[in-house]
Structure 1
Amino acid sequence: MVLTLFMGRALQLQAFDSKAYANAAAKQMTHAVDLAPQRGTISDRYGTVMAATVPAVRIIADPTMIARNGVDKRVEMTDRQRRIGEANAPAMATILAKHLGGKEADYLAKLTAKDAKGNLASWVVVVPQVEASVWNKISKDLRAGGPVPGVKGGADYWYGLYKEDNPKRIYPSGSVGGNLIGLVRGDENAQGRSTALTGVEKALDQQLTGTPGREVYESSAYGRIPLGTDVLTPAVDGTNYTLTVDATMQQAAESALAKGATEAAASTATAIVMNVKTGEVLANANLPSYDPGKVSAIAAKGGLMNRSVESIYDPGSVQKVLTMAALADKGLVTADTRVQVPPRLPSGGGYINDSYSHGTVPMTARGVVAKSSNIGTVMLTRQLDKASLVNYLKSFGLGAKTGIELPGESAGVVPKPDMADYTRDQISFGQGLSVTPVQEAAAVAGVVNGGVYNPPTLVKSAATSDGKPVALPARTPRRVISKEASAQVRDMMEAVTQLDPKKRAIDGYRVIAKSGTAERSNGKNGYSGYTASYVMAAPADDPQILVYVLLDEPLNGHQGSGVAMPIAKQIMTLALPRYGVLPTTTPAPDKPIEYEP
């Protein structure tokens, strides 16, 4: 009977259930390891690395192994082995403190950690990320072992610590372009994943990250089986990106912006340098900023925004450039169009005033822009129907995301064609609508670029880890106004510089510009404080470079021509020769801004 039972059981195992048991055994013997790809680099237009990944590891402890100093759980420990096991964790804590700093007690707590059931844990993160060279020093000390009280010869090796690859993201440029480049935080988890929090790092995270690989192999209690199954799917490293940004110009813009914002006592500030012909952003400076390599996780969670795309505001009188562009393209205005500007203008049950007191002044459209007359702008704009005005603003890129390679971009707000008449009056001079700095800079660039709008971009090129080019999304230029209308607007904008050439002009170049001073919305159907801005482009006859500077809530003056203009001029003075823009050979014209009635 016993023999029959044995034979029956053998038949069951070998004939009927053999496949199931074989699969179960194979599953227990099969192990899989994820292979992390190398994150792509981010470089400036000249090859200066602004974000890269270097080898680093996560140090892991197995307290169950540490307590036995590597002795198999199925083996009964000798007295010698027990003593070495007891000495292991304190010895390891000493080694970790030596190379990593900190207190031995803190490390000891992790090396002897217990799970929820009160048993020694089998997986504990000791340090989430440390340079590979530091781990090598720790590993050397572990292999050397050490003395153990009451044990002759001590321990030959301290077992129970091991490492997992966890590459470290570094930012060689420090705070230069901090808001722009963004940062990646390494997470403390078993998968070794990292989280892109801000900037280009987040906008292009999927492409920069690459595709993880995987290795599946067979192993026993004594390690990998030499002739067992081993299937390797290599990781695909992330895409390397070259930005349009110039790190040197970025640093210069940030320095000029910091100095000017401090003098004006502004709460925040933005400066954008753009190639008018391509839409490439050469610098994108924001204050406050940060060093991506030194930002704590807590600060990162607080939101380290890039105000050039995330912050919306009323653009103020810089908007008059776009208003005049629409009027000129419709054939309603030229630079010499005449308008009698009264002291004030009725609108919506109240009155529109200029920033300065005056009587009735006979101005040309050129003068309306040069003297930034709200009244004159409204009078000229009332010739254009509201639907056409809205269509022009949308064609300039307002009210929609530009698609620039930054996260959190706002679309801004443009009123609908059925807006009230007084709303139409307000938006003509830059109140009652909302834009982002990048939107406004790109819109003005399109107007002065012969009427051709280029979507703003931060990415110049991309390549795989082995140097093969990667196709970028198409960014198609579009015509927004005629060449003739663009020339008329440039004529008007040059008068802004000629109104005070000693302060606003740049030696050797004819410059076009426009200042802006807008009341800031307080989010409660009212206004408080100001936004001061200044946009300039050069050379006047064929603009190549545009600089746009914005200061929020300045306390030491609030006029754009007073606090933002000097910053823009300083940046433009550096940019023109740096990018090989030839000096202007013709003198700036002296055209009338007023006329004799």
Structure 2
Amino acid sequence: MNNYNLRIWTSFLLIFFLILIIIIRLFYIQVHSYEFYKKKSKYQQERIIKLSPKRGTIYDRNGEVLSVSLEAVSIYANPKKIVNETQVSEILNSQLGIPLSKTSSIVNYPGYFVWVKRKVSSEFKKKIKIPGIYFLPDTKRLYPNNNVGSQLLGFVGIDDKGLSGLEYHLNSDLSGKEGYMIIESDIKGRNIFSYDNKVVPAKEGKDVNLTIDKNIQFIMEEELEKAVESSGAKLGVAILMDVKTGEIYGMANYPSFNPNYFQSFPDQSVYNNNAVSMVYEPGSVMKLFTVAAALEENVIDADDEIYSPLRIMVGGYPIEEAAHAGAEKESPTKSISEVIVKSLNVGAAKIGMMLGKEKLYQYLNQLDFGKSTSIQLPGEMSGLLPPCQNWYQVDLSRIAFGYGLSVTPLQLLRAVGVFGNDGYLVNPYIIINNKKKTRRKVYSHKTVETMLSFMKQTVEEGTATKTKIKDYSIGGKTGTAILFSTVTNKYLVGRYNSTFAGVFPTSNPQFAMVVVIHDASKNKFASYSAVPAFKGITERVLRYLKINPQ
């Protein structure tokens, strides 16, 4: 073979191998790596826009809307299609209230998609018709009653996901199923779009019906605000429950906030639902359960008397009465009713010690102290009921009148409800058709009747006379407990949690209610802060529900 032919064959082989490499490469790209390049192409050409589903509506017990999603639009831009950046920037500023500095960055955005404004009125589709500005269907959450029930309901974020309250806890039910829309663009950024085959509609969320009555909720919040403001307190809580069923008619917190503008409240502690998250020593309200347990166990009788001086020592620690005028001249021999009516610390401590730690613990445990109610609300705390094996005698004496254990307002309400339900404990609930069948007998009918008479007497002539309502019988118990600091591990002298817990009407109890006023700067005692709030709410609820006078 001469040199000429060798060069031809060499060139041929080089061309052949080059073509073979190209074929192999094409095979690798088009067949072996087909899926990879297909995805890469789609990534470059397509943008998937999530479509929020219409969130379920939250209703009160009467079908009144508490939280609803309205039709809205979200506006986006394709800056490559905008012709006059300055003009468009000024239109977006004047129509949507977006600062010029931001509209300028929108119209000069280097990509093909940028949000202009989310969740605005559909009316803007008629007002803004500019090349490069587009609209997507969306929804906007509205709380038509503004602050009413704010901590209870909570709120949603820009992506329609619940961030607090029931909106958070029931998010999976309320939120529905997300849809999406695919926007394709060519090499020049022009949209290639067909609605029929590029949109997967969102699936609407489920509606929720609450046991709350919107009007009662409003009444409670208004009266609670008066009490907190007039006493210079840090916060207040009020909860109203049907004693027979456990339905919560109202759960009020103050201060409150407007969930339509939740971002405007820099102090995020205002979002807390203190009805379930506030843990505190309840003080003298616990005397109800100590005396009831002793009556149930026949340790005492309703007609007994007890030696209750102003001060005793237990385990080297003093137990003493709150100072009041003329106390030194009073006889230390007291009736059992006076332990409740006059709120005697020493009397309650002595009854607790007569009962014994095992029995007192048994009854407090049956009342579910130290256990959450499992109500369908986020942030619920369990409180604390220490095991009785760890109690010293002084612990027993203190727990008997409300120190040394901690509760939430809702737990306290659950327990007080037994005196309006013939001794049966029921679990509170807030979502209709989601009741837990919990009903447990704690006290006998005889014990309940005796305790109701003591509670009624407390209102008629004891520490809660400011609760009296003409032609209606109210029964309850005050509690003023010194605040304890977990930081200094000391009690804060002169600072209190004031509580009033009661049932009404006592002749045929329908409701139990707890009011807590936290850290008042004036009118510090329950008789002057929580009690007037309880009365204000009760009067208006009786009138609203048209419960006849007795």
- Fold agreement, TM-score > 0.5: yes
Report if aligned partners of 1:447, 1:480 keep a CA contact under 8 Å in 2.
Answer: no
Question: Partner of 2:345 in structure 1?
Answer: 374
Question: Partner of 1:42 in structure 2?
Answer: 58
Q: Specify which of 150, 166, 170 is matched with residue 204 of structure 1.
A: 170
Identity of aligned residues (%): 28
SS of residue matched to 1:380: helix
Question: Partner of 1:151 in structure 2?
Answer: none
AA in 1 matched with 2:106: K
Q: Specify which of 84, 88, 93 is matched with residue 92 of structure 1.
A: 88
Alpha-carbon distance in structure 2 between the residues aligned to 1:520 and 1:475: 35
With over 3 angstroms needed to count, the CA separation of the structure-2 counterparts of 1:375 and 1:349, relative to structure 1, is: same
SS of residue matched to 1:299: coil
Alpha-carbon distance in structure 2 between the residues aligned to 1:21 and 1:219: 23
Q: Specify which of 420, 437, 460 is matched with residue 498 of structure 1.
A: 460
Q: Specify which of 268, 271, 288 is matched with residue 321 of structure 1.
A: 288
Aligned residues: 523
AA in 2 matched with 1:128: R
Report if aligned partners of 1:335, 1:491 keep a CA contact under 8 Å in 2.
Answer: no
AA in 1 matched with 2:68: A
Q: Specify which of 540, 547, 557 is matched with residue 523 of structure 2.
A: 557
Alpha-carbon distance in structure 2 between the residues aligned to 1:458 and 1:227: 42
Question: Partner of 2:380 in structure 1?
Answer: 409
Alpha-carbon distance in structure 1 between the residues aligned to 2:55 and 2:446: 48
Alpha-carbon distance in structure 2 between the residues aligned to 1:225 and 1:7: 39
CA deviations over 1:425-460 (Å, ceiling 9, x no partner): 111111121111111111101243111112112212
Within the alignment, does 1:419 sit opposite 2:382 as a pair? no
SS of residue matched to 1:262: helix
Question: Partner of 1:162 in structure 2?
Answer: 134
SS of residue matched to 1:478: strand
Question: Partner of 1:363 in structure 2?
Answer: 334
Question: Partner of 2:451 in structure 1?
Answer: 489
Deviation at 1:373, TM superposition (A): 0.6
Deviation at 1:132, TM superposition (A): 2.4
Report if aligned partners of 2:234, 2:518 keep a CA contact under 8 Å in 1.
Answer: yes
AA in 1 matched with 2:450: Q
Report if aligned partners of 1:29, 1:219 keep a CA contact under 8 Å in 2.
Answer: no
AA in 1 matched with 2:368: G
AA in 2 matched with 1:282: Y
With over 3 angstroms needed to count, the CA separation of the structure-2 counterparts of 1:571 and 1:297, relative to structure 1, is: closer
CA deviations over 1:228-279 (Å, ceiling 9, x no partner): 9x58765332221111111111111111111122222212111112111111
Report if aligned partners of 2:93, 2:103 keep a CA contact under 8 Å in 1.
Answer: yes
Using the size of structure 2 for normalisation, the TM-score is 0.86
169-178 or 448-457, which deviates more: 448-457
SS of residue matched to 1:516: strand
With over 3 angstroms needed to count, the CA separation of the structure-2 counterparts of 1:328 and 1:505, relative to structure 1, is: same
Residue pairs, 1:56-67, within 5 angstroms: 56-63=72-79, 65-66=80-81
Question: Partner of 2:537 in structure 1?
Answer: 571
With over 3 angstroms needed to count, the CA separation of the structure-2 counterparts of 1:162 and 1:431, relative to structure 1, is: same
Q: Specify which of 417, 426, 429 is matched with residue 454 of structure 1.
A: 426
Report if aligned partners of 2:429, 2:435 keep a CA contact under 8 Å in 1.
Answer: no
SS of residue matched to 2:333: strand
Question: Partner of 2:112 in structure 1?
Answer: 122
CA RMSD of aligned residues (A): 2.9
SS of residue matched to 2:63: coil
AA in 1 matched with 2:395: T
Report if aligned partners of 1:274, 1:281 keep a CA contact under 8 Å in 2.
Answer: yes
Report if aligned partners of 1:343, 1:360 keep a CA contact under 8 Å in 2.
Answer: no
Within the alignment, does 1:132 sit opposite 2:122 as a pair? yes
Deviation at 1:194, TM superposition (A): 3.5
SS of residue matched to 1:37: coil
Alpha-carbon distance in structure 2 between the residues aligned to 1:369 and 1:40: 47
Question: Partner of 1:183 in structure 2?
Answer: 155
Question: Which structure 1 residue ranges, 5 or more long, are not aligned?
Answer: 70-84, 114-119, 143-157, 187-192, 462-471, 585-597
With over 3 angstroms needed to count, the CA separation of the structure-2 counterparts of 1:17 and 1:558, relative to structure 1, is: closer
AA in 2 matched with 1:583: P
Residue pairs, 1:299-314, within 5 angstroms: 299=266, 301=268, 304-314=271-281
Deviation at 1:343, TM superposition (A): 2.5
Within the alignment, does 1:440 sit opposite 2:436 as a pair? no
Deviation at 1:344, TM superposition (A): 1.6
Report if aligned partners of 1:59, 1:163 keep a CA contact under 8 Å in 2.
Answer: yes
Q: Specify which of 469, 472, 480 is matched with residue 509 of structure 1.
A: 472
With over 3 angstroms needed to count, the CA separation of the structure-2 counterparts of 1:177 and 1:482, relative to structure 1, is: same
AA in 2 matched with 1:519: I
Question: Partner of 1:534 in structure 2?
Answer: 500
SS of residue matched to 1:167: strand
CA deviations over 1:50-69 (Å, ceiling 9, x no partner): 11111223322333x14xx4
Question: Which structure 2 residue ranges, 5 or more long, are not aligned?
Answer: 1-11
Q: Specify which of 482, 499, 521 is matched with residue 484 of structure 2.
A: 521
